[in-house]
Structure 1
Amino acid sequence: MSAVLEKLAPVAAQATPAKHGITIAILAMGGEGGGVLADWLVDLAEQNGYYAQTTSVPGVAQRTGATVYYLEMFPEAATPGGRMPVMALSPIPGDVDVVIASELMEAGRALQRGLVTADRTTFVASTHRVYSMTERTAMGDGRVSADKLLAGGQAAARQFITADFAQLAEATGSLISPALYGALAATGRLPFSRAQFESTISRGGVGVSSSLKAFAAGFDAAAKALSAPPPVAVAAPAVPVPPVGPKLAVLSARILTHFAAANHATLTAGILRLADYQDVNYAFRYLDLLKPLENALPGDSALAAELMDETARHLALWMSYEDTVRVADLKTRRSRFSRVGGEVKLSGAQHLGINEFLHPRIEEIADTLPADLGRWLLATPWARACVAPFTRKGRVVQTSSIRGYLLLYTIACMRPLRPKSLRFEVEHQRIADWLDTITRLVPSQPALALEVARAQRLVKGYGDTHARGWGNFRKIMAAMPQLRAMPQGAAQLKALVQAALADDSGQALEKLLAATV
């Protein structure tokens, strides 16, 4: 395949008029070697009979976009004697031959800027994701659909080559830039052979071995993508039921016996999560809470399966609410230290220091206490005044030290006391009210019941995030009498939830609520 592509390279090059330059835009985030890739291309061009120029416009990583490197190449043979070509300093929409994106969101930004066109652009993009700040800070699921980004690239480009080039780079111990460089070589869009591409890397003299391995991996992945037949749409595979251990075998059997097959995967994931969060008895309680809904569902219908699935999923999330015990537990797990060590490529000769910033409020301290004591703390001014000095400023806890680790580990060991805590009492009363509302709506308004189940996604996180989400949820549930009387009550409830998720100031929700009630 490699030999065939190298033979095709001169043919592809003829698609570019002999008296016109070649324009290339590279979108890469910091630390990915975008500048190195641009320098390689300049060297490639200059060593093989072309003038070349590169410029860069720095972005602010994922906040407003990555750095855009722009290159132009012009054949020396097409330049009149004594003259030099005049090259642009930045890409012009509709006038770019090659676009390279080091991450899928950056590919989307290239599409948005109009750099990719169906009549001329070869588009090389890595399919891995580094979520943008807007995706991470969204109150709901703010992730941009990868499928939509890929479909947009396929529709917009003359030639679209994708693969997880970041994974290929990691497997070869290199950065993503040589893998993308190899993919570009495989497209045949530039009038240079594979050997000429590789010679550029060798001339660089830094990390040559690993870069050549990543180049080869990128070249092969692109060659495979170019030779693959068009994808055929297939139905999404059924979600497999996760395996359970012997302690949950009884619960697993109960799920298989008393619940519809369409809900087995979600329910099993629920009992696994809650047994990990608290204990096996808590997982039993989870299924007990769902029993009234199961009895109320109207037979074996698609709507009934969806309603149970959504309720079961959101119930598991609500029952595993984030409190100080949960946070401490997650931050002291061995798996977390292993994950962080892997992310920073920790070696045996290095020491890993992890600093956690914690800022508990008086309310969170009271929530962790036994219910009566927690209520007393919140209602007693002098007690609040005594605790307040310890909550005014956050503190940094180094969990990689013995002292810091033991501090959080002690808090995590309070898990057996959680069912007696104020937070547990409050949350489970709210859960009972929510489930009761869903169950009462099922016989007459199942669509509205489904949206009530989905509305739980407003209640998440801890601290200010949780307080804001719960406040929005409570306001929406207060409008249930009006929603039940509306012919399109389910659609209106869905719109209210979306308004609450889209605007953390609450103004959009207040405006829509005013129109509802």
Structure 2
Amino acid sequence: MKALIDHLPGRIHEKPISIAILAMGGQGGGVLADWIVSIAEAQGWAAQSTSVPGVAQRTGATIYYVEMMRPLDGKRPVFSLMPTPGDVDIVLAAEFMEAGRAILRGFVNPAQTVLIASSHRFYAVVEKQVPGNGVGDSMTVIEAAGIAARKIIAFDMQEVAERAGTVVSSALFGALCGAGVLPFGRDVFETAVRASGKGVDASLAAFAQAHDIARANPPAPDVKQGPEKRLPPLPVSAGHSQLDALLKRVRAEFPPHLHPMIYAGLRRLVDYQDPAYAQEYLDRLVSLHSHDRNAGGAAQTYSFTETAAKYLAIGMAYDDVLRVADLKTRASRFRRVKDEVGASASQILYTTEYMHPRMEEIVGFLPASLGSAIENRPRLFKALDRLVNRGRRVRTGTVLWFLSLYTLSRLRRLRRRSLRHGREMAHIAIWLDTALAHLPTDYPLAVEIVRSRRLIKGYSDTHSRGLSKFDQVLAQVPRIAGRPGAAGWLAFMNKAALGDEEGKALDGAIRSFDAEIEGGVRRPALSTP
């Protein structure tokens, strides 16, 4: 066995072997630290583990620190309570950005540190809260690890653990053993797992597979940024007369390369409302495609129609209280949550939802006349808002709350008579008319106007903020239109609007355009962020 101490002769007699473990809540970092301590103590070594809680942005990220050393002359060594930057022998990271965090903290150095990391990703809050794509670039971590670490072993240990029915700590322990960086045999590691007495078979299965992968010295890490999006092809039949009529119409009225995107839109809207609503979607899309064809869209592979097919479906399937109630009472959601928490078939699982609807959402799903009447009475609106604006914790697994939400979701037949629906359809009409007005003269600008719809997403306050940004961007179209690189400017503003929640980046992009009008700012290149 090639132990860590081989690269530093006599080191074992000088100072302890230091191991830093970076893990998030639920990944078994504490168990992993205990296992490492137990294997050291089983071999007559002295060992100590400590932990430093992290921050909520990493879902309870914690640094566990272990030091181990063979006692000298019968004297127990004095161990450090925290890892020292630049002097850590082994870093175990339970998620790939945790490896990056270890590098930033200075725990990894090229002369000494072996970095063992799972290559999967769990996104931090700061990555999720950005309106656009806020995911950190894993390639930066890969490049940094290649420079910062003496050796790196990284593969998807989360997948290994999930296949075995356990958590990633078991796979990390196996990778630690397979890497051969500690002077202990495999049997010592496995004995520590058996001694824990919980989920032993699953833990040993993950341990064994990870051990073999690490021992084979895996290539450079293949970091998964997320599931690859693939649109399903248009089926021959859906087995339902109304749905088959929709499919037949798609084949007859649109070129084949547009079929997957349009089919995705149809599926979304049938699930959201009904086949008749999907027919309305096709009616609008046929009209848009006709304008696209007349504007020479064939030379652009009808990108205007394809973009409209995506964002029109998203716009028509807006989130409202009926949709929220529907999603929270679906059997598929209960199954997914049960799988995520690892509940067994014999266990009863309750989910507690925090629901905080605003009066605007409640008025919005009322019939248009009634909703308008309440809105036009400020005192009544404020009184009702005080009544409902308290927030409730709802246990959707109980009969009362499940039936309440389920009944609410069944009211979607009334959605098209609601105040909110009328406003959404009017807003969609203005958006599409704006795009069509520029389609004959500036095809790229028209496509980017359609793409601007991605600024609107979510529910309640999130929707309101997105809608405000969308209206700000669309208000710039008359100023941008007719200028060279108009589509590039609009894409620049859209990207800025997706860059932060407060809209400061969008304000800066608009000021940049103002400066360009005055002369002196280089126009951004056409892009489709």
Same fold (TM over 0.5): yes
Superposition deviation, residue 269 in structure 1: 1.2
Identity of counterpart residues, as a percentage? 43
For 1:417, the equivalent position in structure 2 comes to 414
Q: In 2, Cα distance between the equivalents of 1:31 and 1:128?
A: 15
Change (3 A) 1:245 1:144: farther
For structure 1, the residue ranges without an aligned partner over 5 or more in a row are 1-8
Q: Which secondary structure state, in structure 1, belongs to the residue aligned with residue 7 of structure 2?
A: coil
1:75-107 CA-partner distances (Å, limit 9, x unpaired)? 55xx5x577766544334443332211123322
Superposition deviation, residue 162 in structure 1: 3.0
For 2:278, the equivalent position in structure 1 comes to 283
Q: In 2, Cα distance between the equivalents of 1:317 and 1:151?
A: 37
Q: For residues 474-513 of structure 1, what are the structure 2 equivalents within 5 Å?
A: 474-513=471-510
1:19 aligned onto 2:11: yes
1:344 pairs with one of 341, 344, 359: 341
1:467 aligned onto 2:464: yes
Which piece of structure 1 moves more, 178-187 or 154-163?
154-163
Change (3 A) 1:82 1:407: closer
Structure 2-normalised TM-score? 0.84
Q: Which secondary structure state, in structure 1, belongs to the residue aligned with residue 67 of structure 2?
A: strand
For 1:259, the equivalent position in structure 2 comes to 254
1:59 pairs with one of 26, 30, 54: 54
CA contact (8 A) 1:260 1:300 kept: no
For 1:216, the equivalent position in structure 2 comes to 208
Change (3 A) 1:463 1:22: same
- Paired residue type of 2:422: E
Q: In 1, Cα distance between the equivalents of 2:314 and 2:327?
A: 15
CA contact (8 A) 2:95 2:118 kept: yes
- Paired residue type of 2:262: L
1:126 aligned onto 2:118: yes
Q: In 1, Cα distance between the equivalents of 2:261 and 2:113?
A: 43
CA contact (8 A) 1:357 1:394 kept: yes
For 1:403, the equivalent position in structure 2 comes to 400
Change (3 A) 1:39 1:352: closer
For 1:103, the equivalent position in structure 2 comes to 95
CA contact (8 A) 2:25 2:60 kept: no
Which piece of structure 1 moves more, 145-154 or 305-314?
145-154
Q: Which secondary structure state, in structure 1, belongs to the residue aligned with residue 11 of structure 2?
A: coil
Change (3 A) 1:238 1:476: closer
1:478-499 CA-partner distances (Å, limit 9, x unpaired)? 1111111432333332332333
1:314-343 CA-partner distances (Å, limit 9, x unpaired)? 222111100111111111112122222333
CA contact (8 A) 2:50 2:64 kept: yes
Q: In 2, Cα distance between the equivalents of 1:196 and 1:397?
A: 48
CA contact (8 A) 2:153 2:218 kept: no
Q: Which secondary structure state, in structure 2, belongs to the residue aligned with residue 413 of structure 1?
A: helix
Which piece of structure 1 moves more, 26-35 or 491-500?
491-500
For 1:360, the equivalent position in structure 2 comes to 357
Q: In 2, Cα distance between the equivalents of 1:382 and 1:56?
A: 54
CA contact (8 A) 2:154 2:220 kept: no
CA contact (8 A) 1:29 1:62 kept: no
Change (3 A) 1:377 1:171: same
Q: In 2, Cα distance between the equivalents of 1:45 and 1:210?
A: 23
Superposition deviation, residue 134 in structure 1: 1.4
1:450 aligned onto 2:463: no
Q: Which secondary structure state, in structure 1, belongs to the residue aligned with residue 312 of structure 2?
A: helix
CA contact (8 A) 2:261 2:306 kept: yes
Q: Alpha carbon RMSD of aligned pairs, Å?
A: 3.1
Change (3 A) 1:289 1:146: farther
Change (3 A) 1:41 1:428: same
For 2:186, the equivalent position in structure 1 comes to 194
Q: In 1, Cα distance between the equivalents of 2:271 and 2:38?
A: 55
1:142 aligned onto 2:134: yes
Superposition deviation, residue 149 in structure 1: 4.6
1:377-435 CA-partner distances (Å, limit 9, x unpaired)? 21134543563453232234332222212221221111111112111111111112222
Structure 1-normalised TM-score? 0.85
For 2:239, the equivalent position in structure 1 comes to 246
